[in-house]
A and B are shown apart, each in its own frame.
Chain A
């Protein structure tokens, strides 16, 4: 692995908790690595496992899904659906030889700006260890 490898992470954040938590990190000027870019969805339950494979195919080295804490979902149970899908998807990725640290899930509430920093740092640090993603053939699709 080259010394100056910087991983590229795509993150799916639910609008009500995690996206707001990341906003709070900003309002509180909490610094964290710039390797992670956010896609806003209304609920973590919207995240299709296909998105994960797609992100890896299109150049991401890791994916993060973050939602409300269990029991706090704005849509009652969407984060539980996300949790199940993530658990299955991680096993599947593992099975096909993808390090499961490439796919992470976290619970970050709207009041946890500092936790958001810790989550981002954790994901990025892990990916520094895991290295660049080379397992799938990568192809940029122009939608």
Chain B
């Protein structure tokens, strides 16, 4: 202990809030008699300026070095009184608050009982304050850059906002082009904007922005460090095409032996591409890459006499010798915008998605109906001579959403509207077609949604309430077995085509991101935000923010809004350039530590590591706390077998006197 404690005790009346049920005069008299107490005073409002002045003057006049305030909850005014201590030149952590309002005067009626309890609480606070130690609040610098993982609309928007504010952005995208799911959509509900037309300009902006480093076809390998100071390692996968030489002319793809024979991921497998490819015409960057899983030369070492793409390329860009590249950089913050996967309809085998070509998912329908899609926007099924135009078309909603049997209890929030939009697009292209939508509920909750739903019904789309039980083929037609739950009648509906309104799911590779950052998942397996209402873009890890569907299903406006929110949170750190770190953190008394590593396992923030030190001529392992990563929960302290880990302001030696004071009845 630094010096002999000289404690000042200040008892607040809080008007009559405390004084009515607690005898403050008696409490004050009691306080003076407690060990090490020099001064005890009471006042009507301790938190007021005269109240604080009283504390400050006493500290100066009487040389107080510890302060106890008996008042409202520390959650209310702890900071206020800490400031008063600082103004009087005392370390702010020499303060303890006895909560005699919320925990005493407001919950007890009997004045004698309440006064007795207030005495105990005060005694405990005095017992603890004697052993408090001064703490320093540290600040760390925030690196003036941000990492954005995921190049969909969320990642693009967040990147643009931060880059426009003047900070450097590393935008990492796993696939060869940014654009994400939004680039696959045909039109957006409810305004029917062409999705690509509103997205492409933003993609180009992101690619050409001087502050944005675009790392496409790249994956984050590791992130270490802490808020303000993340070290990031990114693997740039080999494209086998020289990025600088490629002009995006596409001659290579035309000549590829596998031209039109590899399933296109962008077209959800209903269209084909070649092994050397551009994912889609508006791809950014407009650079070709070779798919190492299908390219004949890369998989078998042989492609005809010589790979035709090499000959075809006028720029000589094809380079089979290219290797993966590792890029390393530092950032201050991280935004996770990794998006979603659509529900795998094969997991509902009763709908025959795996068996019948004319059962499609909503996202496949987007590609089929899109003018940049494999059919050029013609709504036709079958291939070659078997090509036909469907006349009877059914949509089924809530496939893989609100369905416990698939493990997805949540509503995916977009399916109601995207089925309505697709139904509208079908009626637009095939006015003669009969379109019906099987639904559980219609949730048209957003701006303009209900109006759009009305419009679609006016256009002749029928809504039938019922959840189909089975789809099978009979006489070349699909038969939907369903009960119309409004009339109670079972139906057998013969159709040419079924579109499944599949829901949104966490990405199947979400685990990789979780392992990178130690993110948590909520019960729906999407990434968990720090608080569902008040911190929806923050995570439990300081400096790491969420944007878009990685956090939960969302439509485009919500995604953009959240991306802007995440960008603004990141900018708060970036623009201040500094971040305060917790002072009440854990520390290790190294000579006592036995190096078992139990605390390392307990810590949810990886703030503790074992380090080799020289203790009296021996190399031994001891635990060491990273003061920036530590959040000050104290879980390691309770777990330490030798008592060598302690939490500042909550040390065993500070809590035990409190217990002794409260035990008190011997």
Contacts and interface: CB of A to CB of B under 8 A. Distances in A.
Interface in B272-322: none
A92 interface: no
Taking chain B's interface residues, is the majority helix, strand, or loop, or is none over half, making it mixed?
helix
Interface in A57-75: 57-60, 71, 74-75
Interface in B519-577: 520, 523, 540
A95 interface: no
B660 A140 contact: yes
Contact of A22 (B103, B540, B637): B103
A3 interface: no
B142 to A, nearest CB: 23
A59 B656 contact: no
Contacts of A141: 656, 660
B660 A142 contact: yes
Nearest to B532: A72
Contacts, number: 150
Given A37-B117, A39-B659, A59-B666, A75 B631 contact: yes
Contacts of B653: 143
B109 interface: yes
Contacts of A31: 107-109
Contacts of A94: none
A37 B121 contact: yes
Interface in B626-666: 631-635, 637-639, 647, 650, 652-653, 655-660, 662-666
Given A15-B75, A26-B106, A34 B116 contact: yes
Given A37-B117, A54-B659, A76-B540, A46 B102 contact: no
B267 interface: no
Contact of B73 (A26, A46, A77): A26
Nearest to A30: B107
A34 B117 contact: yes
B634 A43 contact: yes
B102 A23 contact: yes
Most B CB within 10 A of own CB, among A20, A26, A27, A71: A26
B101 A55 contact: no
B113 interface: yes
B652 A40 contact: no
Interface in B98-132: 99, 101-104, 106-110, 113-114, 116-117, 120-121, 124, 127, 131
Contacts of B520: 76
A10 B117 CA distance: 12
A55 B662 contact: yes
A102 B106 CA distance: 26
A14 to B, nearest CB: 9
B166 interface: no
B604 interface: yes
A42 B650 contact: yes
Given A39-B124, A45-B634, A75-B631, A140 B663 contact: yes
Interface in B615-632: 631-632
Contacts of B655: 39, 41, 51
Contacts of A37: 117, 120-121, 124, 662
Interface in B73-114: 73-76, 99, 101-104, 106-110, 113-114
A76 B101 contact: no
Nearest to B120: A37
Given A23-B103, A37-B117, A55 B635 contact: no
Question: Interface size bucket, A side?
Answer: 35 or more
A43 B99 CA distance: 18
Interface string B512-524: 0000000010010
A81 interface: yes
Contact of B635 (A25, A49, A75): A75
Interface string B483-495: 0000000000000
Contact of A58 (B121, B632, B660): B660
Contacts of B109: 31
B604 A76 contact: yes
B602 interface: yes
B584 interface: yes
Nearest to A26: B102
A74 B102 CA distance: 22
Contact of B663 (A10, A19, A27, A78): A10
Contacts of B647: 42, 46
A34 to B, nearest CB: 5
Contacts of B656: 51, 54, 141, 143
A23 B663 contact: no
A31 B659 CA distance: 24
Contacts of B75: 15, 19-20, 23
A75 B633 contact: yes
Interface string A1-31: 0000000101000010001101101110111
Contact of A46 (B107, B113, B650, B660): B650
Nearest to B96: A40
A48 B652 contact: yes
A46 to B, nearest CB: 3
Given A46-B647, A143-B653, A10 B633 contact: no
Contacts of B633: 42-43, 45-46, 74-75, 78
A34 B113 contact: yes
Contact of A140 (B101, B650, B666): B666
Given A8-B664, A37-B662, A48-B652, A22 B108 contact: no
A81 to B, nearest CB: 5
A41 B659 contact: no
A105 to B, nearest CB: 14
Nearest to A77: B604
Given A27-B106, A81-B635, A143-B656, A38 B664 contact: no
Contact of A39 (B110, B114, B637, B662): B662
A67 B58 CA distance: 37
B638 A47 contact: yes
Contacts of B635: 43, 45-46, 75, 77-78, 81
Given A27-B102, A46-B635, A55 B659 contact: yes
B660 A26 contact: no
A49 B99 CA distance: 24
Contacts of A117: 107
A49 B113 CA distance: 29
Given A40-B74, A43-B634, A26 B659 contact: no
Given A25-B102, A26-B106, A45 B666 contact: no
Contact of A75 (B74, B99, B604, B664): B604
Q: Which 10 A-B pairs have the closest CB atoms?
A: A26-B102, A58-B663, A46-B634, A59-B663, A45-B635, A75-B633, A143-B657, A26-B106, A43-B633, A48-B638
28 contacts: A10-B659, A10-B663, A19-B75, A22-B103, A25-B102, A26-B73, A27-B102, A29-B106, A29-B107, A31-B107, A32-B108, A34-B107, A34-B117, A38-B103, A42-B647, A45-B634, A48-B652, A50-B652, A60-B659, A76-B520, A81-B635, A81-B638, A81-B639, A85-B638, A138-B666, A140-B666, A141-B656, A143-B653
Given A27-B102, A141-B656, A142-B660, 16 more contacts: A10-B663, A22-B102, A26-B73, A29-B107, A34-B113, A34-B114, A40-B74, A41-B650, A46-B633, A47-B638, A51-B656, A74-B633, A78-B604, A81-B638, A81-B639, A143-B131
